[in-house]
Amino acid sequence: MLAVKGLRVSVAGTEILRGVDLTVKAGEVHAIMGPNGSGKSTLTQALAGHPAYTVTAGTATYDGKDLFALKPEERAREGVFLAFQYPVEIRGITNSYFLRSAVNAVRKHRGQEELDPLDFLQVLEAKLKEIGWDDTLMNRPVNEGFSGGEKKRNEILQLAVLEPRLALLDETDSGLDIDALKTVANAVNKLRAPDRSFVIVTHYQRLLNFITPDVVHVLADGRIVKSGGPELAHELEAKGYDWLRTGALVS
Amino acid sequence: MTGIEAQVQQPYKYGFVTDIESDVVPAGLNEDVVRLISAKKGEPAWMVDWRLKAYRNWLKMEEPHWPNVQYGPIDYQAISYYAAPKKLPKLDSLDQVDPKLVATFAKLGIPIEEQKRLTGVAVDAVFDSVSVATTFQAELAKFGVIFCPISEAIRKHPELVQKYLGTVVPYNDNFFAALNSAVYTDGSFVYVPKGVRCPMELSTYFRINASATGQFERTLIIADEGSHVSYLEGCSAPMRDENQLHAAVVELVALDNATIKYSTIQNWYPGDDEGKGGIYNFVTKRGKAAGKNSKISWTQVETGSAITWKYPGCILQGDNSIGEFYSVAVTSRKQQADTGTKMIHLGKNTRSTIVSKGISAGRGQNTYRGLVKIMKGAEGARNYSQCDSMLIGDKCGAHTFPYIDVRNNSAIMEHEASTSKIGEDQIFYLRQRGLSAEDAVSMIVNGFCKEVFKELPMEFAVEATRLLGISLEGSVG
Task: Say if the Cβ atoms of B447 and A77 lie within 8 Å.
Answer: no
DSSP-derived 3-state class of residue B106:
helix
One-letter identity of residue B207: R
One-letter identity of residue B142: K
Strand ranges inside B227-294, DSSP E: 228-236, 243-246, 249-254, 259-266, 278-289
ipTM of predicted complex: 0.95
Residues in B closer than 8 angstroms to A141, CB to CB, are 447
The residues, any chain, with a CB within 8 Å of residue B171's CB and separated by 6 or more, are B50, B53, B54, B57, B177, B178, B181, B182
Residue B130: which pLDDT band, with cuts at 50, 70 and 90? confident
What pTM, to 2 d.p., does this model score?
Answer: 0.84
Residues in B closer than 8 angstroms to A151, CB to CB, are none
At B138, give phi and psi (nearest 5°).
Answer: -65, -40
Q: What is the mean pLDDT of residues B308-321?
A: 96
A104 near B435, Cβ under 8 Å?
no
Strand ranges inside B346-433, DSSP E: 351-360, 365-374, 382-391, 397-406, 412-421
In this complex, which of B425, B432, B448 lies closest to A92 when CB atoms are compared? B448
Helix (H) or strand (E) holding B299: strand B295-302
A interface test, pick of B7, B430, B470 with most A CB neighbours within 10 Å = B430
CA dist B105 and A55 (Å) reads: 52
In this complex, which of B425, B437, B473 lies closest to A88 when CB atoms are compared? B425
Q: How many CB atoms lie within 10 A of CB B370?
A: 24
Q: What is the mean pLDDT of residues B403-425?
A: 91
Q: How many domains does chain A have?
A: 1
CA dist B251 and B164 (Å) reads: 9
Q: Which among B371, B374, B370, B372 has a CA at the least distance from the CA of B406?
A: B374
CA dist B207 and B85 (Å) reads: 12
β-sheet with B121-127: strand ranges across: B130-134, B121-127, B201-207, B228-236, B259-266, B295-302, B322-331, B351-360, B382-391, B412-421
**What is the secondary structure of A228-243 as a DSSP string?**
E-THHHHHHHHH-SHH
Strands A197-202 and A14-24: unpaired
Task: Say if the Cβ atoms of B430 and A141 lie within 8 Å.
Answer: no
CA dist A221 and A241 (Å) reads: 11
pLDDT in tens, B277-289: 888 899 999 999 9
To the nearest whole Å, the CA of B444 is away from the closest chain A CA by 6
CA dist A206 and A244 (Å) reads: 20
Determine the angle formed by the axes of helices B175-183 and B45-60, rounding to 10 degrees: 150
In this complex, which of B434, B473, B474 lies closest to A76 when CB atoms are compared? B434
Q: What is the mean pLDDT of residues B254-273?
A: 89
Cα–Cα distances (Å) from B290 to B286, B323, B445, in that order, read 12, 11, 36
Residues in B closer than 8 angstroms to A92, CB to CB, are 446-451, 474-475
B390 near B356, Cβ under 8 Å?
no
- What pLDDT tens digit does each residue of chain A (251 aa) get? 999 999 999 999 999 999 999 999 999 999 999 988 899 999 999 999 999 999 999 999 999 999 999 999 999 999 999 999 999 999 999 999 999 999 999 999 999 999 998 999 999 999 888 887 887 888 899 999 998 888 999 999 999 999 999 999 999 988 888 888 998 899 999 999 999 999 999 988 889 999 999 999 999 999 999 999 999 988 888 888 887 765 545 44
Residues in B closer than 8 angstroms to A98, CB to CB, are 433, 443
Least confident of A217-226, B35-44, B131-140, B316-325: B131-140
Top pLDDT among B125 and B372 is at B372
CATH label of the domain that carries residue A231 = 3.40.50.300
Task: Say if the Cβ atoms of A97 and B474 lie within 8 Å.
Answer: yes
CA dist A251 and B12 (Å) reads: 62
**Does residue A234 belong to the interface with chain B, where contact is any CB pair within 8 Å?**
no
CA dist A28 and A211 (Å) reads: 12
**Does residue A5 belong to the interface with chain B, where contact is any CB pair within 8 Å?**
no
Residue B192: which pLDDT band, with cuts at 50, 70 and 90? very high
In this complex, which of A77, A90, A93 lies closest to B434 when CB atoms are compared? A77
Residue B248 has pLDDT above 90, yes or no: yes
B interface test, pick of A80, A94, A98, A112 with most B CB neighbours within 10 Å = A98
Task: Say if the Cβ atoms of B429 and A93 lie within 8 Å.
Answer: no
Helix (H) or strand (E) holding A55: strand A53-62
**Does residue A174 belong to the interface with chain B, where contact is any CB pair within 8 Å?**
no
Strands A141-142 and A90-94: antiparallel
**How distant is the alpha carbon of residue B375 from its chain centre?**
27
Strands A53-62 and A2-11: antiparallel
H-type helices in B316-367, by residue range?
Answer: none
To the nearest whole Å, the CA of B398 is away from the closest chain A CA by 19
Q: What is the mean pLDDT of residues B316-323?
A: 98
Task: Say if the Cβ atoms of B449 and A92 lie within 8 Å.
Answer: yes
Q: How many CB atoms lie within 10 A of CB B262?
A: 23
Rg value, chain A, Cα? 18
Res B470: pLDDT: 36
Domain that holds residue A153: 2-250
At B359, give phi and psi (nearest 5°).
Answer: -120, 120
The residues, any chain, with a CB within 8 Å of residue A236's CB and separated by 6 or more, are A33, A205, A216, A218
Residue B116 has pLDDT above 80, yes or no: no
B317 near B347, Cβ under 8 Å?
yes
**How distant is the alpha carbon of residue B248 from its chain centre?**
8
CA dist B395 and B375 (Å) reads: 40
CA dist A86 and B367 (Å) reads: 32
B437 near B427, Cβ under 8 Å?
yes
Q: What percent of chain B has pLDDT over 70?
A: 90
Q: How many CA atoms lie within 13 A of B274 on its CB side?
A: 4
At B380, give phi and psi (nearest 5°).
Answer: 70, 25
**Does residue A92 belong to the interface with chain B, where contact is any CB pair within 8 Å?**
yes
**Does residue A71 belong to the interface with chain B, where contact is any CB pair within 8 Å?**
yes
